[in-house]
Structure 1
C-alpha cells in the first residue's frame, strides 16, 4: 500500500469537566499543571488513549496497557520475542528487516515509532536487541486555555473494611480524589510527516485511522477519575497539504487555528491560502 503522500497538520481541542485528565504521580496524582497554573495532559497520555482507540478498532498494538492485553503476553519483551519467532532466521538477524516487519505488524510502531531494546539470553546465545524506529506522527502536550483550579476531595467509606481487635469499625478514610474544578478547555497540536512515513510504511489509510481515534479519544476511557461525559473532544482541525514537503510550516499552520473559550476552532485562512482543511466535531 502507498505510504502517506501529503503532509498533515492538526489541532485538537477537548473539554474537561470535574475530572482528572492526567494525574501526576509525583504530586499525589493531582491533575498536571504548568508553573503558570495551566492544566496539562502529556503527549504520552494522549498517545496512550490513541493506542486504546486503535486497539478497540481491531488494530494490532505493541505498547499495550497491562489491563488491556489482547495477546496473552505479559511484557513488551515477551511480545517482541513471540513476534520474532514467527520470522525467518535471516530476518531475525537483519536489523532493517526486523524494523520493517515490526512496522508492518503494529500500527503504533509505524505511527509513533519505538525503541526495541531488549536483553538476550546469554546461555542461549541470543544477542541483545536495540533497534530504534522513528515514527511520522508527533503530538504536543495539551494545555488548558486558562489556569485551572483543582478540587481535592477526601474519600471515605461507610462499610467496615477490616475486623479490628476491639470489634470497632475500622478507619473511614480511603484516600484523596483530585479533579479539575468546573470546566476547562485544552488544546494540543500535531503533525504527520510523509518523509518519515516512507520509512515506516505509514499509509493514508493509517492517517484516517488516527483521525478517527482523535475524534473519539475518550470513548471507552471512563473511570472514577474520568466519569462518562466528563471528557469531550470539541473540535479537530485537520490540514492536508498538497505535497510531502508541505505548503507551509507546521508552526504557521497551527497558529491559524483560533480557539474560543468553548473550544470551538475557526481557521484564519488569510495566512495559508490554498491549504485544504476541515474542522470536525468530536464524537
Structure 2
C-alpha cells in the first residue's frame, strides 16, 4: 500500500473531573499547570496512552511501558537488536548495515516508530559505537491545555502502615499527599504530514488506526489518580485535506475549532463545518 496521500489535522477535546491527568514529578506530582494556572497534559503523556491502546489492539510497539512489556526485553537496545527483521546487532553496526535499511526495518516492524519517529542512539561500547539513527515520524501531537484556569485540590492521606518499629508510632513515610483537578476541559491538536509519511511507510490504514484509537485514549488507563470515569474524551475532530500539501495551514485549521470551543467543551458544529470552505471536518463522539 502507498504512503499517506492526504494531509490530516485533528483535535482532541477532553474533560477531567476529580483526577490528576498528568502529575509533575518535580512538583510533588501535582497536576501540571502553566504559569497562568491553566492545566496541561504533555504530548509525551498523550503519546504514552496512545502507544498503550495501540499495543492492546495488537500492534507492535517499540517504546513499551515497564508494566506492559510483552517481549521480555530488558532495554530498548535489546528490543531494537532483536527486532529489526532478524538482523540483530549487525543492524546497528555501520560496517555491516546501512542506516537507511535499518530505519526502514524498524518502521516496518513497530507502529509507533513509523508514526511518531524514534532516535536509535548508542554509546561508545560495542559494535554500535557512536551510532545514531534518527527516524522522523509524520504524526505530531501537541500538549493539551485547559480552556480555563483549573482548580487543584490537595489532600493529605495516610498510606500503608510502616513496616518498621513496634507499630506503636506512625512513621513519616505513612503520610502523603494526593492532588486532583476538580474540573476542567482540555483541548489538544495534532497533524499527520504526508511528506514524512513517505519516509516511514505510514499509510492511510495507519491513519485510520490513529483515528480509531483517539476516542479510546483513556480506556484501561484507570488508577488511584485517575479513577474510571474521571477522564473523558468528548469529541475528536478530524480534518482530511484534498492533497499532500493541504488546503490550509495546520495553524488555521486548528484555530477554526479553537475560536469556537467553549469552556464546557461544546462548539457550534455547523459553524465549524463552514469555517474553512472545501474542508469539512469529521466529528467523532468520545466513548
Scaled by the length of structure 2, the TM-score of the pair is: 0.91
1:6·1:194 contact (CA, 8 Å) conserved in 2?
yes
Counterpart CA distance in 2 for 1:129 and 1:274 is 46
Match of 1:100 among 100, 104, 119: 104
Cα displacement (A) at 1:164: 2.0
Cα displacement (A) at 1:163: 4.7
Instruction: Report what 1:225 is aligned to.
Output: 225
Deviates more, 1:224-233 or 1:263-272: 263-272
Instruction: Report what 2:43 is aligned to.
Output: 43
Counterpart CA distance in 1 for 2:141 and 2:91 is 35
2:140·2:192 contact (CA, 8 Å) conserved in 1?
yes
Gaps in structure 2 of 5+ consecutive residues = none
2:223 is aligned with 1:185: no
Counterpart CA distance in 1 for 2:210 and 2:279 is 20
Question: In the TM superposition, what whole-angstrom CA distance separates every residue of 1:150-173 from its partner, at most 9, and x where no partner exists?
Answer: 11111114x6432524x5143383
Cα displacement (A) at 1:212: 1.4
Cα displacement (A) at 1:230: 0.3
1:162·1:170 contact (CA, 8 Å) conserved in 2?
no
1:163·1:170 contact (CA, 8 Å) conserved in 2?
no
1:160·1:169 contact (CA, 8 Å) conserved in 2?
no
How many residue pairs end up in the alignment? 278
Instruction: Report what 2:264 is aligned to.
Output: 262
Instruction: Report what 2:59 is aligned to.
Output: 59
Instruction: Report what 1:6 is aligned to.
Output: 6
What secondary structure is seen at the aligned counterpart in 1 of 2:209?
helix
Gaps in structure 1 of 5+ consecutive residues = none
CA pair 231-199 structure 1, distance change in 2 beyond 3 A = same
CA pair 100-174 structure 1, distance change in 2 beyond 3 A = same
Deviates more, 1:34-43 or 1:79-88: 79-88
2:81·2:87 contact (CA, 8 Å) conserved in 1?
no
2:272 is aligned with 1:272: no
Instruction: Report what 2:199 is aligned to.
Output: 199
Question: In the TM superposition, what whole-angstrom CA distance separates every residue of 1:219-246 from its partner, at most 9, and x where no partner exists?
Answer: 0100000000000000011000011110
Counterpart CA distance in 1 for 2:212 and 2:203 is 14
Cα displacement (A) at 1:264: 2.6
CA pair 86-163 structure 1, distance change in 2 beyond 3 A = same
Counterpart CA distance in 2 for 1:113 and 1:162 is 45
